[in-house]
Amino acid sequence: MPARADKIDDLLDRFVKDQHVRTKASSYRCALRRFHKALGEDLNGLNQTVLRKWLRTQLRDVPIHWVVHRAQLVTRYLDWLVEEKIIPVNPFAELRQKYECGSTAGIVRALLSANPAKALEALRPPPRYGSHLGPVMHDHILRMRSLGFRYGHESEFLRFDRFLQARKGAAGETLSKLIREYATIVPAPALKLRRLHLGNIVARALTRNGVPTSSVMPDRLLIRDVARKRCRPFIYRHEQIELLLKMAQNYPGRRQPLRPATLFTMLVVAYCAGLRLAEIVGLELRDVDLEEGTIEVRDTSFLNRAGCRFRPAPWPHCGIISSPVVRWEHRRNHRHRFSSTKKAVIAMSLLALYSET
């Protein structure tokens, strides 16, 4: 239904409230009011021509990066209007879906170009695995996933596939020549070595399919250069960990009173349980079982779920606790119990002990 002028302010207030905007609420309302003023009362008439006219009007007053920023705000607002069933479709979302482009900035720059149709068509990515080696790489990825590996670095194969599609005469060249040419594009030695390793994976896949292909041997100097520039891990001492925890407890959070406790808990779980940052952020209340004394970690790199059983202990002694029972649960719900030397203690018990002292 058309959005009347007297209801625009109400729509903007609801949108800002749903987006949980605090510091930029007034600037959001101002930018969206200008958008409504330029388009009129009826939002159902939105299309590519109207959006291009509005973008060109904005380009007269501000630089293009500000136009892109306002368009990104407008597309979030239009998505919200679609969810609220106020307008049928979001034109920006239609263009992203039509041209398979996930970037609103690319869509905006294409609409502002001299030939929008040609610029939008240039945003369309090449077909997935459309090169002469594409089916081999796709079959290899499906094979590894069927064996239980997540194999989340498919983007590297797709990047190599796009390189093969863009290179003229790639089908008539050897894999060794193509992969070395592909590796010389990047300047970093670690990326060069990674691309050479990708070529070896493709070579083994070709050999497995009945096409004998020799592997690409990296240069020894390249391997030494990568090893020399590799970052060494920094091991914190117990005194440094205690200092970090004290700083987390005293971290200023005038508007966010739970920030010190949140930082403290994240540091304790990371140090005592050995969890990664993504695993800590992904924890939910249902993952913590205080009665059993376990924390369930979901979506790990190789296994579907892992849980660690901890023993509460005072902080000065938690660093020497060893051999906690670690329970790994595979995707087929087969549980295996084994001992580990990882130092661990339940974070909730540490919080209780710290509150008592």
Query: Is the pLDDT assigned to residue 256 strictly greater than 80?
Result: no
Helix (H) or strand (E) holding 320: none
> pLDDT tens digits, residue range 323-350?
233 333 333 333 333 223 223 333 443 4
> pLDDT tens digits, residue range 48-65?
888 888 898 888 888 999
Query: Is the pLDDT assigned to residue 314 strictly greater than 60?
Result: no
> pLDDT tens digits, residue range 154-206?
999 999 999 999 999 999 999 999 999 999 999 999 999 999 999 999 999 99
Query: What does the pLDDT read at residue 343?
Result: 30
Query: Is the pLDDT assigned to residue 128 strictly greater than 80?
Result: yes
Domain ranges of the chain: 5-123, 134-229, 238-356
CA dihedral 157, 159, 161, 162 (to 10 degrees): 170
> pLDDT tens digits, residue range 208-231?
999 999 988 888 899 998 888 887
Query: Is the pLDDT assigned to residue 116 strictly greater than 70?
Result: yes
Q: Average the pLDDT over 281-293 and give the result.
A: 77
As a whole number, the mean pLDDT across the chain is: 78
Query: What does the pLDDT read at residue 41?
Result: 61
Please write down the HEC assignment for all residues of 130-146. CCCCHHHHHHHHHHHHH
Query: What does the pLDDT read at residue 276?
Result: 79
pTM for the predicted model, two decimal places? 0.58
What DSSP assignment string belongs to 97-159? HHTT---HHHHHHHHTSS-HHHHHHHHSPPPTT-STTHHHHHHHHHHHHHTT-----HHHHHH
Residue 217, Cβ neighbours under 10 Å: how many? 9
pLDDT band at 4; cut points 50, 70, 90: low
Burial 273-304 (b: 16+ CB within 10 A, else e): bebeeebbeebeeeebeeeebbbbbbeeeebe
